[in-house]
């Protein structure tokens, strides 16, 4: 893929899209590609991560195992895994296993932070996206609490 193809791919990732083309170009230039064979573990639940990954081709199974009581998920192309690792030390909540030969784009936290320093408008947009998500989650929790209180 060309640099422009990579930038266009990043624009299809909901968390990254609002950052803008120039900021995404920086990420595309500095990101690494990681190839996983089928059944290869990307990371185990409980491991500390210093990067996020975008599934470019293939798919990953996220299995929380005994780490939590969540259910398994399959993530395909365009999925961002470990987005919190872009900003802070993050502990994986699930084991990520390639379901088939899979290509990932690795974005190290250090690269992401440097990009945000160079593009403060991107940082503002990311803050807005995360704040909207947090607000939506809070509203969902309030709705669940109300339903539980009705019982």
Q: Which residues contact 88 (CB under 8 A, 6 or more apart)?
A: 109
CA angle (72, 74, 3) in 5-degree steps: 145
Q: CA-CA distance, 109 to 117, in Å (whole number)?
A: 12
- Sequence ranges of the domains in the chain: 3-150
3-state secondary structure of 76: coil
What kind of architecture, by CATH, is found in domain 3-150? Sandwich (2.60)
pLDDT band of 68, cuts 50, 70, 90: low
Give tens-digit pLDDT for 26-56. 999 999 999 999 999 999 999 999 999 999 9
Enter the pTM of the model.
0.84
pLDDT, residue 40, reads: 97
Higher pLDDT, 44 or 1: 44
pLDDT band of 70, cuts 50, 70, 90: low
Of 83-92, 104-113, 130-139, which has the strongest mean pLDDT?
104-113
Output the CA–CA distances (angstroms, integers) from residue 142 to 109, 137, 149, 150, in the order listed.
Answer: 32, 9, 10, 12
Q: Is the pLDDT of residue 69 over 60?
A: yes
Q: Is the pLDDT of residue 89 over 60?
A: yes
């Amino acid at each position: 893929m060309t640099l422009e193809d990579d930038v266009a791919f990043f624009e299809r990732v909901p968390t990254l899209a609002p950052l803008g083309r120039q900021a995404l170009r920086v990420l595309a230039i500095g990101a690494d590609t990681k190839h996983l064979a089928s059944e290869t573990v990307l990371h185990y639940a409980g491991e500390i991560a210093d990067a996020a990954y975008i599934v470019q081709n293939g798919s990953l199974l996220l299995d929380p195992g005994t780490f939590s009581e969540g259910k398994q998920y399959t993530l395909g192309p365009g999925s961002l895994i470990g987005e919190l690792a872009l900003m802070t030390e993050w502990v994986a909540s699930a084991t990520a296993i390639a379901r088939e030969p899979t290509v990932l784009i690795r974005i190290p936290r250090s690269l992401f932070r440097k990009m945000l320093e160079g593009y403060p408008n991107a940082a503002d947009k990311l803050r807005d996206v995360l704040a909207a998500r947090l607000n939506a989650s809070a509203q969902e929790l309030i709705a669940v609490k109300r339903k539980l209180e009705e019982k």
